[in-house]
Amino acid sequence: MALHRLTHLSALIIAGVLASLVLVLGMQAAPLAIPSTPFANTALNGDFESGALTPWAANNAAASLTLVTGTVHGGQYAVQVDNTSTSSYGAQEGDASNVITATAGRTYQWSAWVYVMTGTNALSSARMRVAWYVDYAAGQLSTSDSVTVTLAQQGTWTQVTGQATAPATSAVARLRLVVASTTAGSTASAIFDDVTFEELASTDTPTPTETDTPAPTSTDTPVPTNTNTPVPTNTNTATPTNTNTATPTNTNTPTPTGTCAPWEWQAGPTVVPARYYFQGALATDGKFYVAGGHTANTVVVSRTEVFDPATNVWTTLSGMLVPVGQAALASDGAKLYVAGGFTGGAGTTTAVTSTVQIYDIGANTWSLGPALEKRTEAAAGVVLDNKFYVIGGDDYTNGYTSTLVLDLGTMLWSHAAPLPVVLTNENATAVNGSIYLFGGMVNATTAAQTLYRYDPGPNTWTQLASITGATTIGNYTGISAYGPGRLLAAGGGNTAFAPARLAYVYDIATDTWSAGPQLLVAHMGHAQAQLPDGRVLVVSGLLTTGGGTTATTEFLPPLGASCATPTPTSTSTPSPTPRRIYLPLVRHSEIQPTATPTPTPTLTPTPTLTPTPSCLDPYEPNNSFAQAWPQPPTTPPLTLDLYAKFCPGETSDYYRFRMDAAGPIHVLLSNIPTGQGADYGVYMYDATQTYVYGQYVPGASQQEFTYGNGQIGTYFIRVHVYANPSESPYRLRVNAP
């Protein structure tokens, strides 16, 4: 049976050929923090894990670049720079489309890991250099260098770093990996890897300006009723109606209490490199750990990363001893346990390993544990009652029903009750003393949407409800707890390995599934878990059937997260939104003030909503995509520079602008009255109302981002309120200094 169609996208039916794998057992470097909002790093390819040099290119004829695998700092690839001239040479961004867009006057930091080649080497120095430009076609303004590496560091990896403030007129940064030689005609060589370039958080506090509106002419007529149609995400794969066979009338759709909290996925920081077919686990330190996986070119990696919800940052840790993808992974809180996986190379059973690797979180070290009894990949991993369960999977050719159990006290393997069916590509989570296993491929042929429960006491598997709908998921779908008595299945794909954006909530008490909010982008073969604050995290995975990956992290808030006091009714009186740290939202539910003023609102509780419409904003109503200012037939402007405010009960304001030429889009939301408790985020969507980019730093007085891939057409800007004390103002500028 050809099972590799289940586990490697490049060959769904027969084995794919993967690039050779190199095991790096050298000195481990200190953990590197990956920026929560990597400024233009999406185009950087700084770790070269794309398996290509682009967008890096040679700077002159005397220089050459080579993608290497034998000596790397992290992952599978690095770049070797050879220089035979006496002048400095740098690998650089090739053309305007690959130039890093910068912000004038902002401070940036960068780093690279450098390995000086041993043997004959005419190197005098190696460094990372940043050159600043007004634009790429104009002349260079200045350069900023990192510290240098010399021949004295031959044979070791050295990190070089730098920091500088962009000139007041600079909008472009050109990155160069510089190798200088000592003698004309002699070759100087160095290897570079894990290059980063990021904007430091601004410490500037904009001087608040008066909130008097400049009163731009608005042709909108305020509408007393709320006609908001919140459809920010594509709904082409949505299956809102779930007619469960287990419960014919499925009326338990879990929605937030009242209108106090938007229930939608929110974008977070990216993880580097983007990967798929990997798992993650939460530890007792409250952080989420991931290890291994495949990159977009099907190369397996040894990378280990951790996400800290307190700082909203991904950080790189020590890499695994054996790089693998499709391994079963779980944590007992202090250690990660990684069992089996695909090691790359030829598409045969020998490419699947039985190795067990153990990561000590406190020591940041990896070691080997007792091996599995058989080669295993694409199995589910979960820890329950100090036992590590490895469930199902395959050996590349044959599927399994086995439930293998490693006692973490004795470190001995045993067998538990087998699965009712052959399953591979499934995932599992532990809740209330039971293991819940979802999805997978049944008998290597069909994506399943069935949930199973394993109970350790009686040592039994029980089949539970299945998700029903026109669009099938289950193939590499994530499953996790989602608040008391609920599970969340998110992403995954169908039998044809088409990634999906669907999500479903399972009610344990009623054994029923309900449709949840769609993900911002598709995720398949991703990592997923519930964080200590109740949010569910989904990260990376396959984005398209053709092998494209996403580095996106998304969060789904807990149901009713912002409700200070849940009530059984939906007619809540508007009040300041409690502070929370959730990230970009895409859909929302809001309360629109009625047109009838109430001159003397009383404190007497009443189910009717009668706020005083004393908050005047010339851009209202603009609380949905359909109401985005300016309303058609008015043509959207090329730039925005406006002062507006949030009225009580509002959650989002929407605006439109257009691009007449491709180029970067700069968005700045400022004058946020944080001293009064206001907390806002700003997000951008394309003409189809699909999320493109955004920025939210909790409690910041301004939010700012630059999107480097703007195209001709209309865009939407959404300003979202996370905390709004009372009629809080802001200033929004798009494509303006």
Residue at which a domain ends, from 526, 556, 586: 556
Per-residue model confidence (pLDDT) at position 616: 66
Per-residue model confidence (pLDDT) at position 727: 65
- Is the confidence at residue 265, as pLDDT, over 70? yes
Do 552 and 672 share a structural domain? no
Domain presence at residue 548: yes
Strands (DSSP E) found in 412-526: 412-416, 423-424, 427-431, 434-438, 441-442, 446-447, 450-455, 460-466, 478-481, 486-490, 503-507, 512-515
* pLDDT tens readout for residues 106-116: 887 777 888 98
Q: Backbone phi, then psi, for 24, in 5-degree steps? A: -105, 110
Domain presence at residue 82: yes
Q: How far is CA 611 from the centre of its chain?
A: 38
Q: Which helix (H) or strand (E) holds 5?
A: helix 4-7
Asked if residues 478 and 538 have their Cβ atoms less than 8 Å apart, the reply is: yes
Per-residue model confidence (pLDDT) at position 254: 43
CATH number, domain with residue 728: 2.60.120.380
CB-CB neighbours of 381 under 10 Å: 23
Q: Which residues pair with 596 in a beta bridge?
A: none
| 33 confidence band (pLDDT: 50, 70, 90) | very low
Share of the chain above pLDDT 90, in %: 37
Do 226 and 96 share a structural domain? no
* pLDDT tens readout for residues 590-648: 223 333 333 433 333 433 333 334 466 778 888 889 999 998 877 888 888 888 888 77
Q: Tokens standing for 470?
A: 């026109």
* pLDDT tens readout for residues 90-102: 444 333 335 677 7
Per-residue model confidence (pLDDT) at position 596: 38
Per-residue model confidence (pLDDT) at position 64: 82
Which residue matches tokens 């979202």? 720
Category of 105 on φ-ψ map: left (φ > 0), alpha (ψ -120 to 50) or beta:
left
Share of the chain above pLDDT 70, in %: 71
Asked if residues 149 and 161 have their Cβ atoms less than 8 Å apart, the reply is: no
Do 219 and 174 share a structural domain? no
Lowest mean per-residue pLDDT among 59-63, 362-366, 503-507, 712-716: 59-63
Do 332 and 296 share a structural domain? yes
Residue 279 to residues 59, 186, 305, 385, 426, Cα–Cα distance (Å) = 40, 47, 11, 20, 11
Which amino acid is residue 628, in one-letter code?
A: A
Residue at which a domain ends, from 144, 178, 199: 199
CATH number, domain with residue 286: 2.120.10.80
- Is the confidence at residue 469, as pLDDT, over 80? no
Q: Is 12 helix (H, G, I), strand (E, B) or coil?
A: coil
Q: Between these two residues, 152 and 55, which has the higher pLDDT value? A: 55
Per-residue model confidence (pLDDT) at position 615: 60
Question: 329: closest CA among 291, 299, 369?
Answer: 291
Lowest mean per-residue pLDDT among 6-10, 60-64, 158-162, 435-439: 6-10
Q: Between these two residues, 471 and 327, which has the higher pLDDT value? A: 327
Do 62 and 174 share a structural domain? yes
Domain presence at residue 204: no
Structural domain count of the chain? 3
Q: Between these two residues, 404 and 134, which has the higher pLDDT value? A: 404
- Report the chain's mean pLDDT, rounded to a whole number: 75
Structural domain harbouring 168: 37-199
Question: 726: closest CA among 521, 527, 598, 575?
Answer: 575
Per-residue model confidence (pLDDT) at position 649: 76
Q: Between these two residues, 64 and 581, which has the higher pLDDT value? A: 64
For strand 123-133 and strand 157-165, is the pairing parallel, antiparallel, or unpaired?
A: unpaired
| 161 confidence band (pLDDT: 50, 70, 90) | confident
Domain presence at residue 495: yes
Question: 524: closest CA among 480, 489, 493?
Answer: 493
Per-residue model confidence (pLDDT) at position 8: 42
Domain presence at residue 18: no
Domain presence at residue 239: no
Per-residue model confidence (pLDDT) at position 98: 53
| 153 confidence band (pLDDT: 50, 70, 90) | confident
Lowest mean per-residue pLDDT among 242-256, 287-301, 338-352: 242-256
Q: Which helix (H) or strand (E) holds 345?
A: none
- Is the confidence at residue 510, as pLDDT, over 50? yes
- Which of 206-220, 437-451, 593-607 has the highest mean predicted lDDT (pLDDT)? 437-451
**CA atoms of 710 and 717, how far apart (whole Å):** 13
Lowest mean per-residue pLDDT among 204-208, 269-273, 399-403: 204-208
Asked if residues 657 and 636 have their Cβ atoms less than 8 Å apart, the reply is: yes
Do 418 and 290 share a structural domain? yes
| 448-459 exposure pattern, b = at least 16 Cβ within 10 A, e = fewer | bbbbbbbebeee
Do 219 and 116 share a structural domain? no
Per-residue model confidence (pLDDT) at position 170: 64
Per-residue model confidence (pLDDT) at position 553: 95
Do 401 and 497 share a structural domain? yes
CATH number, domain with residue 132: 2.60.120.260
- Which of 24-38, 176-190, 450-464 has the highest mean predicted lDDT (pLDDT)? 450-464
Lowest mean per-residue pLDDT among 15-24, 153-162, 192-201, 306-315: 15-24
**CA atoms of 132 and 44, how far apart (whole Å):** 16
**CA atoms of 555 and 528, how far apart (whole Å):** 10
Do 226 and 172 share a structural domain? no
Domain presence at residue 5: no
Residue at which a domain ends, from 199, 219, 251: 199
Do 133 and 81 share a structural domain? yes
Q: Which residues pair with 387 in a beta bridge?
A: 384, 407
Per-residue model confidence (pLDDT) at position 694: 86
CB-CB neighbours of 568 under 10 Å: 6
* pLDDT tens readout for residues 521-564: 999 999 999 999 999 999 999 988 777 899 999 999 987 653 33
Do 456 and 314 share a structural domain? yes
- Is the confidence at residue 231, as pLDDT, over 60? no
- Is the confidence at residue 222, as pLDDT, over 50? no
Q: Between these two residues, 166 and 503, which has the higher pLDDT value? A: 503
Do 377 and 335 share a structural domain? yes
Domain presence at residue 334: yes
